[in-house]
């Protein structure tokens, strides 16, 4: 669809429901993303569009997940619009730079990394503890937005799915997603734990796990001035065999609370 025709459809669909198209933001996984304003309140929203049948199906799935969520780490759902032309998903507009942009500048100080890690861990634990548990499945810096107040938001629920359905589809980004999620295996909440550990290692070392030259998280961490306990935590999150991994985000959070403490913690003291 030509850009003008696409924008005309978006503008018409939004206008009928009291929204005003403001600007083009960028291109997402499913299609173009726009900045829109709700006329009644003046609130700015992000609007994701999907035109192809496959992208419409995925965007609808994202909307269904987002509707369930009420947690400060995730953007608020506003509305899902579906017509003969395609689908639109409206949600809270989050300003700020992405964690990917922040990591391009420099390695994060340990305290900053732990602050972000704590908020993300709480958001993931919330998903895992819903009445129908949800796996995020695609944690990476591009999906984390650093807000102007210093807190973070976890965007893009496009790969998220109910835990009960996770084994029927493959999803995620190589370097962050564990083998049981990318190939034939049994994904679980421990799969998000793995991606969390990879992201935490990236924040602490500056080494992108997606690059072919990337070393094992533990090797990189031991070259840094980071507490032994924190190094062990990352190792226990990123075990290749999920049975040896920290099993849930609740245990991750309890371990994170210890990470500012003494370096004398033993490996066995990591809570799994």
Catalytic residues: 138
How many Å is the Cα radius of gyration of the chain?
A: 20
Residues in Cβ contact with 102 at an 8 Å cutoff, skipping those fewer than 6 apart:
108, 141, 146
The CA angle 22-28-29, to the nearest 5 degrees, is 150
Give me the helices (H) in 84-224, please.
99-105, 110-128, 179-182, 189-205, 217-221
CA distances from 74 to 108, 123, 218, 259 (A): 22, 7, 30, 25
Helix (H) or strand (E) holding 4: helix 3-15
Q: DSSP string of 67-78?
A: HH---TTSPPEE
In angstroms, rounded to a whole number, what is the distance separating the alpha carbons of residues 186 and 121?
21
């Amino acid at each position: 669809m030509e850009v003008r025709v696409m924008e005309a459809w978006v503008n018409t669909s939004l206008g009928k429901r009291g929204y005003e198209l403001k600007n083009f933001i960028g291109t997402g996984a499913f299609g173009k993303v726009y900045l829109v304003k709700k006329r009644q309140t003046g609130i700015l929203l992000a609007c994701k569009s999907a035109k192809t049948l496959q992208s419409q199906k995925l965007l609808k799935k994202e909307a269904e997940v987002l509707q369930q969520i009420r947690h400060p780490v995730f953007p608020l759902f506003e509305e899902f619009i579906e017509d003969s032309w395609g689908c639109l998903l409206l949600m809270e507009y989050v300003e700020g730079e992405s964690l990917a942009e922040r990591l391009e500048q420099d390695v994060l100080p340990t305290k900053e990394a732990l602050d972000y890690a704590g908020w993300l861990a709480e958001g993931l634990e919330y998903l895992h503890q819903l009445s129908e548990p949800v796996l995020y499945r695609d944690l990476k810096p591009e999906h984390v937005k650093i807000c102007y107040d210093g807190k973070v938001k976890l965007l893009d629920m496009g790969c998220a799915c109910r835990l009960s359905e996770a084994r029927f589809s493959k999803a995620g980004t190589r370097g962050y997603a564990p083998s049981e999620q990318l190939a034939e295996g049994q994904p679980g909440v421990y799969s998000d734990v793995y991606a969390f550990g990879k992201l935490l290692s990236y924040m602490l070392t500056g080494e992108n796990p997606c690059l072919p030259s990337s070393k094992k998280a533990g090797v990189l961490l031991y070259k840094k001035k980071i507490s032994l306990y924190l190094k062990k935590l990352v190792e226990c999150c990123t075990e290749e065999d999920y049975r040896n991994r920290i099993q849930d985000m609740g245990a991750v959070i309890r371990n994170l609370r210890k990470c500012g403490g003494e370096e004398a913690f033993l490996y066995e003291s990591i809570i799994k």
